[in-house]
């Protein structure tokens, strides 16, 4: 185990914060920053937008939030110039989180509701095609990524139906629609990359996922196996409990 030190810093590449920030997805960044700060560490936030180039050797954590088709259309052309860097970062073991519109663009292709085909960066082996109805509501899934059958809760609102290729789902749907409303898979994961449809934002009420991504990012930067000190998650647990009640699960 590699004890985390106060001087430790996670370098975050935050992609298109001004455009890909639906349902307060930016709140995930506040969770990353605070959970590091509460442990005496820090988050160095670097924002990247249209025209900026990304150096994959310079980041431990990448984040792309959700957006409507219109915003995805605006960033997709630019993302093509960042695709090599994002794939290199993932291959190098950096942590990456893609939410909703983000997971759609992390795949190979997203066909929008108007039939336009947007190229994705190909970090995750998946494809998405918009359907004629939206998949909306509270959702609970079960993931084995940070221990057996950990429950993750959130809110989904997407027209896209995502089908996975050679990649594992992030979790299995307990209640809700998930990737495509048919196969009970939700999101996708490989190496230290997670893609998911869960908004809410995702991390405030699922602190285990936040800590998993942070420990991956610290491992990427400093090596070894990182085990983060536990925090008082009373508030986070009660937010989680409220969300699962909304899904219709018992407390």
What does the block give as tokens for 86? 């994002």
CA distance 218 to 7: 12
| Residue 97 φ/ψ, nearest 5 degrees | -125, 125
Beta bridge partner(s), residue 60 = none
Among 101, 107, 195, 201, binds ligand GLN (CB under 6 A): 101
Residues 148-187 that bind ligand GLN (CB under 6 A): 157-160
Number of residues that this document lists for the chain: 251
- CB-based contacts of 238, cutoff 8 Å, min separation 6: none
- Shortest separation between residue 161's beta carbon and ligand GLN, angstroms: 8
With respect to ligand GLN, which residue has the nearer C-beta, 56 or 107? 107
CA distance 162 to 167: 12
- Shortest separation between residue 72's beta carbon and ligand GLN, angstroms: 6
Burial code of 115-138, b = ≥16 C-beta within 10 A, e = fewer?
Answer: eeebebbbbbebbbbbeeeebeeb
Residues 8-37 that bind ligand GLN (CB under 6 A): 22
Q: If you ran DSSP here, which 8-state letter would residue 27 be given?
A: H
Neighbours of 149 (CB within 10 A): 10
- Ranges assigned E (strand) in 81-125: 95-99, 109-111, 117-119
- Residue nearest to ligand GLN as judged by C-beta position: 66
Residues 183-222 that bind ligand GLN (CB under 6 A): none
- Size of site (CB under 6 A) for ligand GLN: 14
Active site residues: 100, 199
Question: Which range binds ligand GLN by CB under 6 A, 56-64, 79-87, 99-107, 163-171?
Answer: 99-107
Q: Which of 34, 45, 39 is nearest to 227 (CA)?
A: 39
With respect to ligand GLN, which residue has the nearer C-beta, 31 or 135? 135
CA distance 130 to 105: 13
Binding mask 58-87 for ligand GLN (x = CB under 6 A): --------xxxx--x---------------
With respect to ligand GLN, which residue has the nearer C-beta, 8 or 14? 14
With respect to ligand GLN, which residue has the nearer C-beta, 56 or 101? 101
With respect to ligand GLN, which residue has the nearer C-beta, 10 or 100? 100
Residues lying near ligand GLN in the complex (CB under 6 A) are found at: 22, 66-69, 72, 100-101, 104, 130, 157-160
């Amino acid at each position: 185990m590699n004890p985390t030190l106060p001087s430790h810093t996670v370098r975050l590449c935050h992609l298109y914060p001004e455009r890909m920030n639906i349902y307060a997805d930016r709140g995930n960044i506040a969770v990353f920053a605070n959970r590091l700060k509460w442990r005496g560490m820090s988050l160095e936030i670097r924002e990247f937008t249209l025209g900026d180039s990304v150096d994959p050797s310079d980041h431990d954590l990448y984040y792309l939030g959700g957006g409507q088709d219109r915003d995805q259309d605006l960033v997709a052309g630019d993302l093509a110039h960042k695709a090599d860097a994002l794939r290199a970062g993932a291959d190098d073991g950096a942590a990456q989180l893609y939410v909703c519109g983000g997971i759609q663009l992390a795949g190979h292709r997203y066909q929008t509701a108007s039939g336009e085909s947007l190229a994705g960066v190909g970090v995750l082996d998946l494809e998405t095609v918009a359907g004629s109805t939206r998949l909306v509501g509270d959702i609970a899934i079960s993931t084995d990524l940070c221990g057996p059958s950990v429950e993750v809760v959130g809110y989904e609102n997407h027209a896209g139906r995502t089908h996975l290729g050679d990649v594992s789902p992030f979790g299995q749907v307990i209640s809700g629609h998930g990737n495509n409303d048919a196969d009970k898979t939700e999101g996708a994961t490989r190496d230290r990359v997670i893609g998911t449809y869960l908004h809410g934002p995702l991390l405030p009420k699922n602190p285990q996922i936040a800590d998993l991504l942070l420990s991956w990012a610290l491992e990427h930067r400093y090596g070894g196996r990182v085990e983060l000190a536990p925090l008082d998650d009373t508030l986070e647990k009660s937010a989680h409990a409220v969300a699962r009640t909304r899904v219709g699960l018992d407390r």
